[in-house]
Amino acid sequence: MPYLYPDSVLLIFCKAPIAGQVKTRLQPRLTANQAVSVHRQLTRLTLDRAFQQPLCAVQLYCTPDINHSFFDQCIKDYPLVLSTQRGADLGDRMLNAFSEALAQYRHAILIGCDCPSLTVDDLQQALAALQNGQDAVIAPAEDGGYVLLGLNAPQPALFEDMVWGNENVMKETLLRAQHSLILVHELARQWDVDTVEDWDRYLCSLKA
């Protein structure tokens, strides 16, 4: 397939859709099985957008491994590659994914699978920023984290000994980048689906 950015790769982090292990903060409003359905729906939305244009190669980074029927269906429906997340925490897993990807490609961007506000235009802006000389590109989230990170080199300083899952992740990441002289391009702020309020917001966006 002729890609617009053949020297780049999009990494998508995704959990296996197992009841009780995905979207647990949507419970008890939703049952565990309903939360699984939400996870599946948002993942398919993410993949649809990833392939809306032939931007670049796509790798679905799975956890705990690639051995789930949902992942089998994904590779039947989309021209992607499955990989297994490796590492003790999120920082380790992200750094390992970037290290593997950037051994093969010049540029890599990493996203999750639960950010419905992230568009194909955002992905293209991220890839263009990396090609235009930025060391990194990041899309902040309303909750204080980020939903997209792009790099031209692995940059361990952005991942090691980080406290994840709190409102200071974005701020701390930018401070570390500044300290390490990493030139960062910031994209528009986004929102993801973590809470029942986020899920209601997503449903409202579908009606709109």
For the cut 80, the answer to whether the pLDDT of residue 1 exceeds it is: no
HEC sequence for the chain? CCCCCCCEEEEEEEECCCCCCCCHHHCCCCCHHHHHHHHHHHHHHHHHHHCCCCCCEEEEEEECCCCCHHHHHHHHHCCCEEEECCCCCHHHHHHHHHHHHHCCCCEEEEECCCCCCCCHHHHHHHHHHHHCCCCEEEEEECCCCEEEEEECCCCHHHCCCCCCCCCCHHHHHHHHHHHCCCCEEECCCECCCCCHHHHHHHHHHHHC
181-198 tens-digit pLDDT? 999 999 999 999 999 999
pLDDT of 207 strictly over 90 = no
pTM, entire model: 0.96
Provide the CATH number for the domain formed by 8-207 in this structure.
3.90.550.10
Give the pLDDT of residue 26: 96
Considering the chain, what percentage of its residues have pLDDT values greater than 90?
A: 97
The domain locations on the chain are: 8-207
Interval 12-20 mean pLDDT:
97
* pLDDT of 8: 98
